[in-house]
Homo-oligomer: A and B are copies of this chain.
Amino acid sequence: MIRHEVDAWDTERQKKREKMEAIYQFSDGKVVKEDQIKQLLETAIRPGETVAIEGDNQKQAVQLSKGLATVDPKKVNGLHIVMSCTQMQEHLDIFELGIAEKLDFSYAGNAAKRLPEMIEAGTVKVGAIHTYLEMFSRMFTDLIPNVCLCVAEEADKDGNLYTGPNTEETPTIVEATAFKSGVVIVQVNKLVDKVTRIDIPGEWVDVVVPTEEPCVIEPIMTRDPQYIKDVHVLQGMMAIKGIYAKHLVTRMNHGIGFNTAAIELLLPTYGEELGLKGKICTNWVSNPIPAMIPAIETGWVKSVVAFGSELGMEDYVRERSDVFFTGADGSLRSNRCYAQMAGMYGIDMFTGSTLQMDADGNSSTVTKGRITGFGGAPNMGSNPHGRRHSSPAWNSMITNPSDPMAKGNKLVTQIVRTQTKAGPTFVEQLDAVEVGKQAGFDEPPVMIYGEDLTHLITEVGLGYVYMGETPEERRKIIAAVAGDTPVGHTITTKEINELRAAGKVAFPEDLGIDPSEATRERLAAKNMKEITDWSDGLYKAPPKFKNW
């Protein structure tokens, strides 16, 4: 046994002290000017360090990200970048410039196409694609940031931060950095005397950089109901009657898309007809999205815990504090980490969509030439083995009630069209397998594994995948609704009818749904104007959605 020979056990603290002393040479206390960002980053970041950049799928540390792409690669290089979303070109430029080397991330927005090219060229080494909560987890174990570059709405000179409704992941990144002697740098839209609300205590923040232009926030969760098609309505009706009502799902999360928007807009109409109000869809893990407004206004929704906000929803949320988490100032308090946690352990169902699915029900949004990443889907769309509380929905999934060890599981529903412009959705092998190989990943970038899929809806019908007693039967249930695709061709009409008779597959008519009556007319709001009307004018549609 030899004692560890170290000069000190606080080298990280010492390093931080040195950095901060150098920064204080040109800063005004904690405040650094926007035109000093290059100097700031060259002083705060040392070669090979781990740097967390706040780039959600909503707000972006724009000026700090741009600034990082301007540092001298002789001074700052070999960085390991940890971030939720590679959204800006600069997020990838830093790899080409030799400033950064390795990337661990969750979601590639605008970078989805450029990223695989850069991986192939060896310009960027990707550690892994994560689901958000997993990414945050590693910030506390083996990817602890030496420096973080975050963004907030307001700061005071002591560093107290008000994030506005988009609190998102700022508190989590800051905590992981601040308490392990990392340097916390935050760009802010405004420097104020007193912040509107304290979302993060100033003691945790080392540097604030007021920027001339506010950080960019995009309304990427908003879906205009005018683009919801009759087929979405049909699928939504199948979901409501065949899944939500059958399993009495009260606590849930919806992925973003026209399918889930259709469900949200059908609750006040079709859901009401079925007498389901108060019985389903009461407690949501969701961003405050406009498509939920009619359901909220008709009294369906008891609570919503949000990952982030959605542009235009600020005033509506403020006036609906019985439903949303809000601060004393009235505005939304979102929290990506807590909402993702709730999305794993505190809900009974995830409903989402995907681009490709194989015969086993594995699905991915990664297709040839595009690495989009996962976001929250794998976390919410997987069965939490650590969960120990039950609920009617959870229990309804038990297929072996006589087993004393029987337990329920989470419902994971995927809604897809069997074909899209890109070709068949159901494929023999996911593109993700080949993409993963080319990128050198240990495992293919699968979004939701077939073992976790419980329900599948296509325009053909609804497959109760969880009822499959064997892997083979699960595949047959998937094939039964896979239509005219390689997977759909693996089942006969006779087999399909047997599954329908057994209640393991339901076509619309089996659910008492007449496809000819599944039209847009059923939607509680057919366009953005009607959503705005429902909100009593509280929802302020962003310009790109304001078409009336």
Contact = CB atoms under 8 A, between A and B. Distances in A.
Interface in A31-47: none
A76 B227 CA distance: 52
Contacts of A380: 386
Contacts of A360: 405
Nearest to A176: B338
Interface in A193-238: 197-198, 200-204
A12 interface: yes
B451 A433 contact: no
A160 B202 CA distance: 12
Main secondary structure of the interface of A (DSSP, over half): loop
B387 A298 contact: no
A28 interface: no
A46 to B, nearest CB: 16
A144 to B, nearest CB: 6
Counting chain B CB atoms within 10 Å of each CB, the highest count among A201, A272, A379, A433 belongs to A201
Interface in A330-349: 333, 335, 337-339, 341-342, 344-347
B386 A323 contact: no
B140 A405 contact: no
Count class of interface residues, chain A: 35 or more
Given A10-B321, A323-B9, A388-B374, A338 B175 contact: yes
Contact of A4 (B200, B298, B327, B387): B298
Interface in A254-294: 268-269, 272, 282-283, 285, 294
B451 A344 contact: no
B134 A389 contact: yes
Given A137-B344, A339-B140, A322 B12 contact: yes
Nearest to A160: B201
Contacts of A382: 384-386
B3 A298 contact: yes
Contacts of A10: 319-322
Contacts of A299: 3-6
A413 B322 CA distance: 45
A209 B476 CA distance: 62
A449 B142 contact: no
A2 interface: yes
A531 to B, nearest CB: 13
Contact of A11 (B202, B268, B322, B446): B322
A249 B97 CA distance: 35
B446 A386 contact: no
Interface string A477-488: 000000000000
B283 A141 contact: yes
B445 A429 contact: no
A345 B127 CA distance: 15
Given A4-B297, A385-B452, A390 B344 contact: no
A303 B197 contact: no
Interface in A284-314: 285, 294, 296-299, 303, 305
A497 interface: no
A128 interface: yes
Nearest to A161: B201
A12 B268 CA distance: 24
Given A131-B386, A404-B444, 20 more contacts: A1-B272, A4-B297, A4-B299, A9-B322, A129-B389, A131-B387, A136-B341, A137-B342, A137-B345, A138-B389, A140-B285, A142-B303, A160-B201, A197-B203, A198-B204, A201-B201, A378-B385, A381-B386, A382-B386, A406-B443
13 contacts: A127-B389, A133-B345, A134-B386, A141-B346, A181-B321, A198-B201, A198-B204, A379-B386, A388-B443, A388-B445, A390-B441, A405-B446, A405-B449
Interface of A: 1-6, 8-13, 104, 127-131, 133-134, 136-138, 140-142, 144, 160, 172, 175-176, 178-181, 197-198, 200-204, 250-251, 268-269, 272, 282-283, 285, 294, 296-299, 303, 305, 319-323, 325-328, 333, 335, 337-339, 341-342, 344-347, 360, 362, 374, 378-390, 395, 404-408, 429, 433, 441-446, 449, 451-452, 524
